Amino acid sequence: MGTPSVGDLGEFGLIAALTARLPQGPGVLLGPGDDAAVVAAPDGRVVATTDLLVADRHFRRDWSTPHDVGRKAAAANLADVAAMGATPTALLVGFAAPADLPAAWAEEFAAGLAAECAPVGASVVGGDVVRAEQLLVAITALGDLGGVPAVTRDGARPGDVVAVCGTLGASAAGLAVLSAGVRGHQSLVQAHRTPTPPYAAGPAAARLGVHALIDVSDGLLADLGHVAERSGVAVDLDSSAFVPSEELRAAAAELGASATQWMLTGGEDHALAGCFAPDVELPDGWVRVGRVHAGSGVTVDGSVPTGVAGWDHFR
């Protein structure tokens, strides 16, 4: 007998195999197995977000394990919840796959989802599976605001301090390393496979009254551009604040790239960028990188950056 595939399991067998690996947190009143789940909403408001991951677009099976893909899929959505100042509570998962996909791949993917959710106390509470020609994952994440206002992109004010919490540029560097087929730089490669967003930093910043907050998924310049546009302000970054790690420098030198450019335009690290009042003492882990001014757009040391600001799926 060959290796079982998702087609061998069938729809309900696959659902049973996946949900067997998904422990439920205390906020889940009714988990997988019914027409819908029931999740507690203590605040009375629910933060909701969704994201798609498509094979060979967002991940490659020859570069990442299924556990890696599960973690990355969860992280992209959990980080968006944190960027609203909320604590993640639950994920819903849409899973489309060819019938010959090994069942073990799907099971390890589910284990990766659970592993990324566990530290923040979130649970996978349901979803759907379907046969498709291409492997695709659609995640919906829910979160709880804990009594504080949601932090949006439109609250930045002139005089605010711009700060970042989390890693910048590592995922872009890891992708470049994988694409070039060079050896080494494993911490950068792993940062691309499984980003490590600073989930707790979002709710902590919200409690301090941060004016605007965003998940850096497409690149810092691009994402701060969204903040600047929505808030009707200008953002100026200080290039001296972006200090590449030794490994980032080494990879850039080997590949003929710019480590600083990776930090400014690379996506998928899922760091958080926030705009704080100038008199607020930045929490641990946050690094001041610029200022908000009257005007529009994003500049670096007062100059408009050249080249691409970040990722755009349709460019």
Lookup: tokens for 285 = 């882990």
Q: Which residue do the tokens 């930090």 mark? A: 263
Bind-site residues for substrate: 58, 268, 311
Angle formed by the axes of helices 103-117 and 66-82, nearest 10°:
30
Instruction: Provide DSSP, 158-180.
Output: TTPEEEEES--SHHHHHHHHHHH
- Pairing status of strand 212-216 against strand 123-131: unpaired
Element (H, E) at 293: strand 286-293
Sequence-ordered list of residues with C-beta below 8 angstroms from that of 20, at least 6 positions apart, any chain: none
Instruction: Provide DSSP, 232-295.
Output: T-EEEE-GGG----HHHHHHHHHHT--HHHHHHH--SS-EEEEEE-TTSPPPTTEEEEEEEESS
Sequence-ordered list of residues with C-beta below 8 angstroms from that of 186, at least 6 positions apart, any chain: none
Q: Which residue do the tokens 């998928």 mark? A: 268
How does DSSP classify residue 296?
Answer: S
Bind-site residues for Mg(2+): 35, 49-51, 80, 128, 215, 218
CB 126 within 8 A of CB 32: yes
Euclidean distance between CA atoms 104 and 151, whole angstroms = 39
Euclidean distance between CA atoms 89 and 126, whole angstroms = 13
Q: How far does the chain reach from its first CA to its final CA, in angstroms?
A: 46
Q: How many CA atoms lie within 13 A of 109 on its CB side?
A: 29
Bind-site residues for ATP: 127-128, 153, 217
Give the residue from 124, 215, 208, 202 showing the smallest Cα distance to 168.
Answer: 215
Bind-site residues: 35, 49-51, 58, 80, 127-128, 153, 215, 217-218, 268, 311
